[in-house]
């Protein structure tokens, strides 16, 4: 497959790029800055410089032509304010979906967050509330699109521990941690399983091998 990943320099994206390139897929990662290209090349991915906060749908669609699937793994990141949660975590995800439709790419995976909700209640951290609302609004937009075979993946609290290859994947898992390695492995397995289209799935560490967990969701 040819797969294009938004947020190609992110921690999950780089792991996913290495997995996909290692198994023989053609992978491109969209990045904001040319200086990030080296990390993508080292992961086996083609770097594509395109700022999703300023690009047009037509600009992005040109980069998606010929892709079999796209993955939105971009995020404003820690230290960013509420405004960038809106422009990246929400607006860029919507732009990427618009571009996928325009380019005729059927498969769209989006990395969301457990607790994402456009109506998330105010919490102690207003920026985190803005993040959950932005992610939730992006999820709702993507799920409204009949022209995309979308899957929304909502991981729990992310860690940098080594992956175990074992997860819990379900519409509701309850709170928990999950390694970035295992999130990337789950995304790779979801790309292989078109029957998971139309599902919103939570992901935490667990006991089931990743491929078995994805297969179970595909047939549930």
Give the residue numbers annotated as catalytic, written as ranges: 131
- Which secondary-structure segment (H or E) carries 56? none
216 DSSP 8-state letter: H
- Helix/strand/coil for 213: helix
- Helix/strand/coil for 112: coil
Pair of tokens at residue 117: 């909700």
Helix 57-64 to helix 93-103 angle, to the nearest 10 degrees? 60
- Contacts for 92 with CB less than 8 Å, ≥ 6 apart: 6, 52, 53, 72, 74
């Amino acid at each position: 497959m040819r797969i294009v990943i938004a947020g190609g320099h992110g921690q999950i994206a780089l792991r996913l790029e290495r997995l996909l390139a290692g198994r023989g897929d053609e992978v491109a990662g969209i990045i904001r800055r040319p200086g990030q290209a080296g990390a993508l090349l080292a992961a086996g991915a083609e770097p594509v410089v395109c700022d999703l906060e300023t690009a047009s749908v037509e600009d992005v669609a040109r980069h998606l032509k010929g892709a079999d699937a796209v993955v939105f793994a971009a995020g404003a990141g820690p230290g960013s304010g509420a405004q960038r949660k809106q422009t990246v975590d929400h607006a860029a995800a919507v732009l990427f979906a618009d571009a996928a439709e325009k380019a005729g790419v059927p498969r769209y995976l989006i990395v969301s967050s457990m607790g994402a909700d456009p109506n998330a209640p105010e919490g102690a951290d207003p920026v985190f509330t803005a993040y959950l609302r932005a992610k939730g609004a992006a999820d709702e937009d993507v799920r409204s699109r009949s022209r995309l075979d979308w899957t929304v993946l909502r991981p729990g609290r992310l860690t940098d521990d080594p992956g175990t290859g074992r997860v819990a994947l379900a519409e509701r898992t309850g709170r928990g941690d999950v390694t970035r390695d295992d999130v990337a492995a789950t995304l790779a397995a979801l790309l292989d399983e078109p029957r998971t289209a139309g599902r919103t799935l939570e992901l935490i560490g667990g006991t089931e091998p990743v491929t078995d967990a994805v297969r179970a969701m595909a047939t549930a």
